[in-house]
Structures are given as structure tokens and as C-alpha cells.
């Protein structure tokens, strides 16, 4: 790990003042702006308007009008696709600026933030391609007198609510697909990391997205987010964040029966058999646990190791984890950056203390790191964790790896499934049957085999059970933002109840 003082890049740095985007106009909020203190540097780096319920309602009204009066929903797929492709090019052109904002506001390493921007550009291009391929079905099999056509229509106004852990990447998993379908949108980024989403607003306007189609309202969840989940003019809510707020979102949306799409928490196991390529696994275990400081819904936070290899493998993971470079997020060689807020750091610490009291062994780390500025946590390993401990069942959202053990394949599957979450899982074995058995029996939206946390724009992503509802990415992602409409057409003379036959 590296101690640091205020880095050179921030010596003459002035906090950036942002405005929010409502109906094509950049707007100040009424009250005091929200100040974002960089978690890795301890200084104010951004100020966003503290949007109000009234701002959210104005944005919803603008999105409603833009949907009902057009032109966005009635443009051709090719026209929308071209605008999304232009947006992708502009994102790529401003990638360094966007990555810098995500880095200083969230505390993630700059090299990682740049990688996420590359992934986001690919998603925008993929969504642009899907905009031209959105289609329904036709039934020419219903007899000479009937032709059935099933249309796909944009669902309408979509509220998009995003968290702080992948600020630009997560909005990019939702917004381009909603826009590709012809929807209009209101976006609320996390109050901690709104900068890159607001720059995205500039990009979309420059790319040619009409006023009102994209509105971005900054502020807190209860003030701005809540009305976006209850307002009768909103047709769908797409939310990523905690399972608790996801549950509240669903309950709020139920009042007007809106469609909801939820990407929530995870407690993702990696199940490891003795015949696995252990060198490859150990690297993936360290990556899975400490990437993004573990503040990751997909984090591989639970290892389920075969008892015959558990002690040796845990020691080797600890050796590698000691080499992970924790430090200044702006240093291009940093692998693990800062923890999002001091409160969150305290929550992670409480999980570690609770596990130790319950009988787990702190095999590595376990405490905060003082690097001079900001808040950091040492990569931590807890061994001897039992499936009933809180740290084995709940999302810690920090660099904390829990190690559990198993004897039989059935036991491994039972432990993997014995939690409320089902986002993702990994299995490590050179045996084809073992991998497929685990792949079919573990209840999670993604199963990695002999790899971990890989992804592609083409592959759907989402969770079973309390990890969420619906899937993002993949070729059906645009369809999520549509309604189906049946056109039932009669051909020729119609006979019926009172018509002569």
C-alpha cells in the first residue's frame, strides 16, 4: 500500500460546479448545493444542485411531453441508432474527463475507471445496433381470415436511478437501451457521484437527443428518487442499488402498477474443487474480492473451498492479497482505491468485528488504513466462516473475503444457495461434469466457469431472488423498455353472432 499526500494532479484543482438538466435547460437547484468530498483525497471536488421533489416533477412532465408529442418515439430505429452512435463517439472523446470524475468522486483507481469507460462505449454502440433490430412477431398461421401482428412499442417515460459504485457504467447499462426503444427518461444519479452522469447529459444533447428525452435531476433518494417511483406519469422504473431501497421502489411502483427492473445486491460464491487450476483461481479470488474495493454487487465475497485444499489455498490468497496496491486513486498503478464514505468504512469494520466475535479468524487485514488523506480499508480475509454468520449471508460491500469449506458437491451447492441473494457464482474445476452440475444447480443469474467477473455487452446480467428482477444487457435488453401490442386483423367478409353465415 502507498501513503500519499494531496497528489500533483489536484494541486491547482478547483471543485467543479454542475447544473442539472431539465427539459433541455441546465438548471441550478433552489437550495445549497451538495458538496462531494473525494473519498481518496479528502477535498471537495464537485458541487451538484440539491434537486427537489418539484424538480423531479418538472423533469417527469418534460419527459411525458417529449414522449407523447414526439419526435423521439416516432423516429426510425436508424435515426435513433445514429444519435446513439454519435453519443458513443463523444463519450470515447471525453473518456479521460469522465474517468477522472468517476475516480475522484467514487475513489476508484483511475486505470480501472478508464477501463470502465471503454466498456461503457461498447455498450452504447451495442444498444445503437439493437435500436435498428427491435421488432415484434407476425402470425400467418391463424387461418385465411386472420392475420396477427405483435408490435413492440416503447413503454413510455422511464425513471432511471443509479448508485455510486460504477457511476458511468451502470447508467450505461440502462439509458442507451431505453433510448434505443424510443423511451424518454428521467435519470437520478447517486448524490455522491453525479458528475459523469451530468457530463453525459451534455454529450447526449450534443449528439442530437431532443429536449425532454433525457432529464437528469441530482439530489437525494427520498427527495428526488421517491417521486420518480410513485408519479403516475412514469411508466417504468429501472433501479440499481441496495436490496432495501429496491424493495421500497417496488412497493412504491406498485401503487400505479409500473413495470420495475431491479439490479440489487449479491453475496457471490466461488466454489473450488481440488482439481482446479489453483494458480488461476487464486488470482481470480483476489481480483473478485478486492476489485473496486469490494464495493461491487458482483464481488466474489464468499469462497467455498474443498476442505482438502482450504488451508493451503487461503494462505496463498493471503500472500497475493498482501501485494495488492492500495492507495491514491489517481496513481495509475493503484489497484484498490478509497472507500466511498467514512460511514461506509465504519459499516465494513463492524462486519469484520462481528465476524471475529462470532468465531471467524481474521487471516489478513481487518482494519482501516491511514494513508494520510481519505478513507481506505486493508484487503481482509476471514477464515473459519460458518454459513449462518452475518458476514456469510449479507452484502458487506467492502474488501472482505469470507472463506467457507465443503466436503461434497451437494454440500457446496447447499451452502451456495442458502442465502437470499442469487446474482452470480463461480465454479473452479477441470472436470466438465462438476462445472455443469454446479452451473445448473446454483441459483444465480450468471455462473462463471474457471473465470470470474468477466462480462460482455451481449451477455444478460441480473439476479435471482433478492438480487433483483429482470436482466440488463444482451440482445433482449431493449425489449425490456417496450410494451407488446397485438394487432388482430380480419381479412374478408366477417361472420359473427348476428351476421348471416
Can you tell me which of 39, 73, 265, 300 binds ligand NDP, judged by CB under 6 A? 265
Binding of ligand NDP at residue 161 (CB under 6 A)? yes
Binding of ligand NDP at residue 207 (CB under 6 A)? no
Contacts of residue 285, defined as CB under 8 A and 6 or more positions apart, other chains included, come to 270, 300, 303, 313, 317, 401, 452
Binding of ligand NDP at residue 242 (CB under 6 A)? yes
Can you tell me which of 111, 146, 220, 437 binds ligand NDP, judged by CB under 6 A? 220
Can you tell me which of 248, 361, 368, 449 binds ligand NDP, judged by CB under 6 A? 248
Binding of ligand NDP at residue 269 (CB under 6 A)? no
Contacts of residue 345, defined as CB under 8 A and 6 or more positions apart, other chains included, come to 339, 368, 375, 377, 398
Q: Shortest approach of ligand NDP to residue 467 CB, angstroms?
A: 8
Binding of ligand NDP at residue 163 (CB under 6 A)? yes
Among the candidate windows 225-233, 331-339, 449-457, 493-501, which touches ligand NDP by CB under 6 A? 225-233
Burial of 358 (0-12, 13-18, 19+ CB in 10 A): middle
Binding of ligand NDP at residue 229 (CB under 6 A)? yes
Among the candidate windows 240-248, 328-336, 446-454, 490-498, which touches ligand NDP by CB under 6 A? 240-248
Can you tell me which of 16, 36, 80, 188 binds ligand NDP, judged by CB under 6 A? 188
Q: Find the residue with minimal CB distance to ligand NDP.
A: 221
Q: Shortest approach of ligand NDP to residue 391 CB, angstroms?
A: 13
Task: Write b or e for each residue in 419-437: b if 16 or more Cβ atoms lie within 10 A of its Cβ, otherwise e.
Answer: bebbbbbbbbbeeeebbeb
- Residue 429 grid coordinates: 474445476
Q: Whose Cβ is closer to ligand NDP: residue 167's or residue 365's?
A: 167
CA–CA gap between residue 388 and residue 366 (Å, rounded): 20
- 60 backbone dihedrals φ, ψ, rounded to 5°: -65, -40
Q: What is the CA radius of gyration of the chain?
A: 24
Q: Shortest approach of ligand NDP to residue 364 CB, angstroms?
A: 22
Contacts of residue 434, defined as CB under 8 A and 6 or more positions apart, other chains included, come to 273, 275, 409, 427
Binding of ligand NDP at residue 226 (CB under 6 A)? yes
Q: Which of 105, 116, 263, 295 is catalytic?
A: 263
Binding of ligand NDP at residue 49 (CB under 6 A)? no
Can you tell me which of 73, 225, 294, 300 binds ligand NDP, judged by CB under 6 A? 225
CA–CA gap between residue 436 and residue 429 (Å, rounded): 10
- Beta-bridged to residue 326, according to DSSP, are 336
Residue 351: closest CA among 403, 381, 298, 390: 390
CB neighbourhood size of 379 (10 A): 28
Q: Shortest approach of ligand NDP to residue 224 CB, angstroms?
A: 8
Binding of ligand NDP at residue 197 (CB under 6 A)? no
Among the candidate windows 19-27, 186-194, 318-326, 476-484, which touches ligand NDP by CB under 6 A? 186-194
Can you tell me which of 134, 297, 373, 415 binds ligand NDP, judged by CB under 6 A? 297
- Beta-bridged to residue 401, according to DSSP, are 381
Q: Does 263 participate in catalysis according to the annotation?
A: yes
Binding of ligand NDP at residue 397 (CB under 6 A)? yes
Q: How do 259-263 and 468-469 pair as beta strands?
A: antiparallel
CA distance to 155, 164, 267, 475, per residue, from 285 (Å): 41, 23, 14, 30
Total residues contacting ligand NDP by CB under 6 A comes to 26
Q: Tell me the catalytic residues.
A: 263
The residues that touch ligand NDP, with contacts defined as CB under 6 A, are 161-165, 188, 190-191, 220-222, 225-226, 229, 240-242, 245, 248-249, 263-265, 297, 395, 397
Amino acid at each position: 500500500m502507498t501513503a500519499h499526500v494531496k497528489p500533483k494532479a489536484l494541486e491547482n484543482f478547483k471543485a467543479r460546479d454542475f447544473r442539472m438538466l431539465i427539459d433541455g435547460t441546465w438548471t441550478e437547484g433552489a437550495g445549497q448545493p451538495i458538496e462531494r468530498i473525494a473519498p481518496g483525497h479528502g477535498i471537495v471536488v464537485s458541487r451538484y444542485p440539491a434537486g427537489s421533489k418539484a424538480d423531479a416533477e418538472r423533469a417527469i412532465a418534460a419527459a411525458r411531453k417529449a414522449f407523447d408529442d414526439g419526435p423521439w418515439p416516432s423516429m426510425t430505429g436508424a435515426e435513433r441508432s445514429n444519435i446513439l452512435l454519435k453519443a458513443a463517439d463523444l463519450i470515447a472523446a471525453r473518456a479521460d474527463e469522465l474517468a477522472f470524475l468517476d475516480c475522484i468522486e467514487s475513489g476508484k483507481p483511475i486505470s480501472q475507471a478508464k477501463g470502465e469507460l471503454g466498456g461503457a462505449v461498447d455498450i452504447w454502440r451495442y444498444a445503437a445496433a439493437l435500436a435498428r433490430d427491435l421488432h415484434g412477431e407476425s402470425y400467418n398461421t391463424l387461418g385465411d381470415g386472420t392475420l396477427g401482428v405483435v408490435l413492440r412499442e416503447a413503454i413510455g417515460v422511464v425513471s432511471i436511478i443509479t448508485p455510486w459504485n460504477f457511476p458511468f457504467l451502470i447508467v450505461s447499462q440502462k439509458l442507451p437501451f431505453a433510448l434505443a426503444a424510443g423511451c424518454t427518461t428521467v435519470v437520478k444519479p447517486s448524490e455522491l457521484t453525479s458528475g459523469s452522469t451530468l457530463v453525459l447529459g451534455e454529450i447526449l444533447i450534443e449528439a442530437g437527443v431532443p429536449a425532454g428525452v433525457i432529464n437528469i435531476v441530482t439530489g437525494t433518494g427520498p427527495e428526488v428518487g421517491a417521486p420518480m417511483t410513485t408519479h403516475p406519469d412514469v411508466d417504468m422504473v429501472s433501479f440499481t442499488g441496495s436490496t432495501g431501497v429496491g424493495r421500497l421502489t417496488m412497493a412504491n411502483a406498485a401503487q400505479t402498477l409500473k413495470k420495475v427492473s431491479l439490479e440489487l445486491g449479491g453475496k457471490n460464491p466461488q466454489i473450488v474443487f481440488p482439481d482446479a487450476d489453483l494458480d488461476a483461481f487464486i488470482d481470480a479470488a483476489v481480483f473478485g474480492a478486492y476489485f473496486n474495493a469490494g464495493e461491487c454487487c458482483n464481488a466474489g465475497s464468499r469462497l467455498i473451498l474443498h476442505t482438502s485444499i482450504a488451508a493451503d489455498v487461503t494462505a496463498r490468497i493471503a500472500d497475493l492479497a498482501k501485494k495488492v496496491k492500495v492507495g491514491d486513486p489517481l496513481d495509475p498503478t493503484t489497484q484498490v482505491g478509497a472507500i466511498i464514505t467514512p460511514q461506509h468504512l465504519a459499516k465494513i469494520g463492524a462486519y469484520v468485528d462481528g465476524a471475529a466475535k462470532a468465531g471467524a479468524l481474521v487471516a489478513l487485514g481487518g482494519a482501516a488504513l491511514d494513508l494520510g488523506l481519505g478513507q481506505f480499508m486493508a484487503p481482509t480475509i476471514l477464515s473459519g466462516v460458518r454459513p449462518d454468520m452475518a458476514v456469510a449471508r449479507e452484502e458487506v460491500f467492502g474488501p472482505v473475503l469470507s472463506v467457507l469449506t465443503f466436503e461434497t458437491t451437494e454440500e457446496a451447492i447447499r451452502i451456495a444457495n442458502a442465502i437470499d441473494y442469487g446474482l452470480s457464482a463461480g465454479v473452479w474445476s477441470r472436470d466438465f461434469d462438476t462445472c455443469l452440475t454446479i452451473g445448473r444447480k446454483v441459483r444465480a443469474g450468471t455462473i462463471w466457469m474457471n473465470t470470474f467477473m468477466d462480462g460482455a455487452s451481449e451477455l444478460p446480467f441480473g439476479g435471482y431472488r433478492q438480487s433483483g428482477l429482470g436482466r440488463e444487457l444482451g440482445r433482449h435488453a431493449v425489449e425490456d423498455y417496450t410494451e407488446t401490442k397485438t394487432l388482430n386483423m380480419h381479412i374478408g367478409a366477417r361472420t359473427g353472432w348476428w351476421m348471416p353465415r
